[in-house]
Amino acid sequence: MVIGHSGDSEDLEYLRGLMERGSTIGMDRFGLEHFLPTAKRVEVLARLCAEGYAGKMVLSHDANCWTDMLSEDDKRRTRRSSTGTALDR
């Protein structure tokens, strides 16, 4: 079983618990900075790998080009945070 969107969490105890109970966690949604910044995702991932959990994680991304789930302001903020610039003003 793969539990997706686990990359949104920086709670190492929670993530370890999922894996220790037999689940594989999906470390995904890279690029969706408003859920958890990429730098923090990488930090969590590196820490868990260093602790020996690499075989219990799968990597992917789950960012999309278009969605109707976010307001236009949220879309602009997401684009700004992922590029470091304001793409549309």
Per-residue pLDDT of 4-47, as tens digits, reads 999 999 999 999 999 999 999 999 988 778 788 989 999 999 99
pLDDT-based confidence at 82, cuts 50/70/90?
A: low
Q: Residue 67: helix, strand or coil by DSSP?
A: coil
- Whole-number Å distance between alpha carbons of 2 and 58: 8
Question: Could you tell me the residue ranges of all domains in the chain?
Answer: 2-63
pLDDT digits over 37-79, tens only? Answer: 989 999 999 999 999 999 999 998 766 666 677 788 877 776 6
**Is 28 buried (19+), middle (13-18) or exposed (0-12) by CB count in 10 A?**
buried
